[in-house]
């Protein structure tokens, strides 16, 4: 078996649908890191995850997990990865205990003690039926299952969507604890970019099925910038600096890809700020906007 | 694969009693059908349990979860076919139990006595139904295949016995020459079968249904491996 430093490699991944295309998406996640996979709803995040899990069939491109082709070594890969999907797909009529027994039977390295500890930590009653669990509890149950078979890669599709701030915070704490083990990696799709502020090492951003950027989070936040100034500073020449811009009668505010260049260009005449991931996503998606 | 079968039984735990009750009541309800009563009990029970298992898979789109686990799609397909045979066991046993109750208590009801030939016939009827239904289920999913399943289920009860009756008795009334030719061939095969011993007939029917099921399973697997979730 071939092992590489990249735990997940997606190369020129393409999938056509009737009304949407995922086009040449490429990125790599090194082992031991957390990658946030961001983009607005309908940008292709779930499609990419389903292609990694072979729930959808790709048209072109290659996916390697643990350095292995995801189709040729599907079983071996799935035994070593864990998934948490955006909604509950477990059997609602079953109890937590019965559902876990079923799932456990498919994994080579199920760890009953870890599962019991997770149930205790997450305050889940094993006798309770899944249909009786709240959305947050269902997510915790999915996470308990995901953490109980020694998976090296955890793939999560919008795990925080629809959760209250308390549960979201708990979930992020669990993930922070998980990645203390440097062999484990997390690939985490979300449109709530604030979730990634604390835990993501890398960010991959897609929009309309195309890759916008994929880089270390700190590099992105260092490189990009928010520029605010009066409208007379904003001309045709400087327009090319901006990824997205919002103007009104008082002035403009925009996102630039190269903060240093913008600083050189505007000197003291404009305010230059460090953006958040949310700024980067919003300005990229909206482009130019006049209010 | 066996853990998938076990999974279906866990999901069907609370429906097994209904199935057993149906299997027990079928010989009394279908006593006029003679040999067909065991088929009705077996097909009815297995269809009920099989549809329930498919409903549970469909309910929360659980196939997404199953296909994300380390298991092959061929195992998912094979488990569904294997489960059906296991569902037939409680059906036949409860039919046998009903027969036992009637004979021990002396209740004045004539019910069909289970024979090897009868069991083979019931399994063949069940195999035919599943062999047609499963490829459609694996191609289109539960929701879109539900109507086809219902149609096949009622066909097993009404159209098949009617066709058999026409083949055996009613050739004179059959106007269509093609249908008449088919009926003649079927009648000859039946005539030949009647010259065989019971165990031979059972073997032929079981072999035939096995071939049909294998062909159906291959088709199901082909469809399911192309399915997207």
Q: A87-146 pLDDT, tens per residue? A: 889 999 999 999 999 999 999 999 999 999 999 988 899 999 999 999 888 999 999 999
B212/chain A closest Cα distance in angstroms: 29
Give yes or no: residues A48 and A124 share one domain: yes
* Residue-wise pLDDT tens digits, B10-29: 899 888 888 888 878 877 77
Q: Does residue A109 lie in a domain region?
A: yes
CB spacing of A92 vs B59 below 8 angstroms: yes
A142 and A255 co-located in one domain: no
Query: Is B168 or A66 the better-scoring residue by pLDDT?
Result: A66
Our CA angle for B44, B47, B50, nearest 5°, is: 145
pLDDT digits (tens, 9 = 90+) for B136-160: 999 988 888 888 877 777 776 666 5
Kindly report, residue by residue over A259-280, the tens digit of the pLDDT: 988 888 888 888 989 999 999 9
> CB under 8 Å to A152, separation ≥6 — which residues?
A7, A31, A66, A80, A81, A183, A184, A185
Per-residue pLDDT averaged across A170-188, rounded? 86
Task: Say if residue A96 is in the same domain as residue A228.
Answer: no
A209 and A233 part of one domain:
no
Q: Is A245 inside a domain boundary?
A: yes
Q: What's residue A1's pLDDT? A: 44
Examine the fold and report which residue of A172, A203, A220 is the final residue of a domain before the chain moves on.
A220
Torsion angles phi and psi, residue A91, rounded to 5: -75, 115
Comparing C-alpha atoms, which of B116, B98, B115 is closest to residue B107?
B98
Neighbours of B158 (CB within 10 A): 10
CB-CB neighbors (< 8 A) of B65 in chain A: 85, 89-90
- Give the number of domains in chain A: 2
pLDDT score for A2: 45
Phi then psi for residue A70, to 5 deg, are -70, -20
What is the spatial distance between Cα B52 and Cα B8, in angstroms, rounded to a whole number?
9
The last residue of one of the domains, among A172, A195, A220, is A220
**Range with the poorest average pLDDT among A116-120, B42-46, B102-106, B109-113:** B109-113
Same domain, A176 and A285: no
Spell out which chain A residues touch chain B, with contact meaning CB-CB distance below 8 angstroms. 50, 53-57, 74-76, 78-79, 83, 85, 87-94, 98, 101-103, 105-108
As a whole number, mean pLDDT of residues A213-237 equals: 88
Give the pLDDT of residue B172.
57
What pLDDT digit, counting tens, does each position of A53-62 carry?
999 999 999 9
Tens-digit pLDDT profile for residues B44-62: 888 889 999 999 998 889 9
State phi, psi for B142 to the nearest 5 degrees.
Answer: -65, -50
Are both A195 and A275 inside the same structural domain? no
**Within-domain flag for A248:** yes
Name the percent of chain B lying above pLDDT 70. Answer: 88
Strands A6-16 and A21-30: antiparallel
Residues A206 and A240 in one domain: no
Note whether A234 and A111 are same-domain residues: no
**Chain B contact set for A91 (CB, 8 A):** 11, 56, 59-60, 62
pLDDT (average), residues A16-41: 94
Give chain B positions within 8 Å (CB) of A83: 68
| Same domain, residue pair A167 and A262 | no
The proportion of chain B whose per-residue pLDDT surpasses 90, expressed as a percent, equals 24
Nearest to B70 among A75, A90, A102 (CB): A75
* Listed residues A220, A238, A257: the one ending a domain: A220
**Given an 8 Å threshold on Cβ–Cβ distance, is B62 in contact with A90?**
yes
Torsion of CA B213, B218, B224, B225, to 10 degrees: 160
CB pair distance less than 8 Å for A105 and B64: no
Report the Cα B40 to chain-centroid distance in Å: 9
Instruction: Kindly determine whether residue A55 and residue B64, on different chains, have CB atoms separated by under 8 Å.
Output: yes
CB pairs under 8 A between A and B: 66
The neighbour count for residue A261, using CB atoms within 10 Å, is 13
CB contacts, 8 Å: B61 with chain A: 89
Nearest chain B residue to A56, by CA: B228
Instruction: Judge if A282 and A175 occupy the same domain.
Output: no
Res. B197: pLDDT tops 50: yes
Query: What is the rounded CA–CA span in Å between residue B201 and residue A64?
Result: 54
Instruction: Please report, for the domain that includes residue A49, its CATH number.
Output: 3.40.50.300
Identify whether A124 is part of a domain: yes
Q: Given a cut of 90, is residue B101 above it in pLDDT? A: no
Q: How far is B132 from chain A (nearest CA, A)?
A: 25
- What is the edge-to-edge ordering of all strands in the sheet holding A225-229? A271-273, A225-229, A251-256, A242-248, A288-290
- Which residues does B176 contact at the CB level (< 8 Å), separation at least 6? none
The boundaries of the domain holding residue A230 are: 224-290
Residue A1 maps to a domain: no
Do A185 and A280 share a domain, yes or no?
no
Picking from A84, A93, A94, A95 by the largest number of B CB atoms within 10 A of its own CB, the best residue to mutate is: A93
CB A10 within 8 A of CB A29: no
**Nearest Cβ partner of B72 from A53, A75, A108?**
A75
Residue A127, token pair as written in the block: 């006798």
A170 and A283 fall within a common domain: no
Which residue in A has a C-alpha nearest to residue B60's C-alpha? Answer: A89
Cβ neighbours of B160 (radius 10 Å) = 17
Rg for chain B, CA atoms, rounded: 19
Instruction: Name residue A8's beta-bridge partners.
Output: A29, A65
> B111-123 burial, b for 16+ CB within 10 Å, e for fewer?
bbebeebbbbbbb
Q: Indicate yes or no: CB of A106 within 8 angstroms of CB of B228.
A: no
Please state at what angle helix A112-121 crosses helix A96-104, rounded to 10 degrees. 150
Report the C-alpha gap between A203 and A217 in whole angstroms: 5
C-alpha distance from B5 to closest chain A C-alpha (Å) = 10
């Amino acid at each position: 078996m071939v092992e590489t430093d990249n735990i997940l490699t997606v190369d020129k991944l393409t999938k056509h649908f009737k009304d949407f295309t995922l086009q040449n998406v490429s990125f790599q996640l090194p082992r031991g890191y957390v990658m946030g996979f961001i983009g607005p709803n309908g940008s292709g995040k779930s499609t990419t995850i389903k292609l990694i899990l072979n729930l959808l069939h790709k048209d072109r491109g290659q996916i390697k997990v643990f350095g292995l082709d995801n189709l040729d070594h599907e079983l071996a890969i799935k035994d070593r990865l864990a998934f948490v999907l955006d909604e509950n797909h477990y059997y609602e009529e079953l109890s937590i205990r019965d559902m876990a027994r079923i799932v456990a039977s498919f994994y080579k390295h199920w760890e009953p003690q870890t599962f019991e500890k997770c149930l205790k930590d997450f305050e889940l009653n094993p006798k309770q039926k899944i249909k009786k669990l709240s959305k947050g509890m269902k997510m915790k149950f999915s996470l308990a299952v995901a953490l109980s078979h020694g998976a090296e890669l955890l793939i999560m599709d919008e795990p925080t969507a629809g959760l209250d701030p308390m549960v979201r915070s708990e979930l992020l704490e669990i993930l922070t604890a998980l990645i203390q083990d440097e062999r484990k990696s997390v690939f985490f799709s979300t449109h709530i970019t604030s979730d990634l502020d604390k835990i993501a090492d890398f960010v991959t951003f897609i929009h309309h099925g195309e890759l916008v950027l994929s880089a270390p989070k700190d590099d992105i936040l260092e490189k990009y910038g928010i520029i605010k100034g009066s409208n007379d500073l904003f001309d045709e020449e400087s327009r090319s600096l901006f990824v997205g811009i919002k103007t009104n009668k008082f002035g403009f505010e925009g996102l630039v890809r190269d903060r240093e260049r913008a600083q050189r260009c505007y000197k003291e005449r404009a305010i230059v700020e460090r953006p958040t991931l949310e700024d980067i996503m919003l300005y990229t998606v909206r482009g130019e906007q006049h209010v | 694969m066996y853990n998938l079968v076990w999974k279906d039984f866990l999901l069907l735990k609370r429906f097994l009693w209904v199935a057993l009750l149906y299997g027990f009541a079928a010989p009394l309800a279908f006593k006029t059908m003679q040999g067909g009563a065991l088929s009705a009990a077996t097909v009815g029970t297995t269809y009920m349990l099989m549809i329930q298992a498919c409903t549970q898979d469909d309910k929360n789109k659980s196939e997404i979860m199953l296909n994300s686990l380390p298991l092959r799609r061929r195992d998912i397909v094979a488990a569904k076919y294997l489960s059906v045979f296991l569902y037939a066991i409680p059906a036949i046993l409860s039919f046998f139990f009903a027969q036992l109750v009637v004979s021990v208590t002396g209740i004045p009801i004539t019910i069909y006595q289970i024979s090897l030939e009868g069991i083979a016939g019931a399994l063949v009827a069940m195999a035919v139904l599943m062999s047609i239904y499963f490829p459609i289920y694996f191609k289109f999913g539960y929701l879109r295949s539900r109507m086809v399943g219902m149609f096949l289920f009622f066909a097993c009860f009404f159209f098949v016995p009617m066709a058999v009756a026409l083949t055996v008795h009613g050739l004179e009334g059959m106007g269509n020459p093609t249908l008449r030719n088919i009926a003649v061939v079927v009648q000859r095969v039946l005539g030949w079968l009647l010259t065989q011993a019971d165990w031979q007939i059972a073997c032929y029917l079981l072999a035939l249904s096995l071939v049909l099921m294998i062909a159906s399973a291959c088709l199901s697997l082909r469809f399911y491996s192309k399915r997207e979730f």
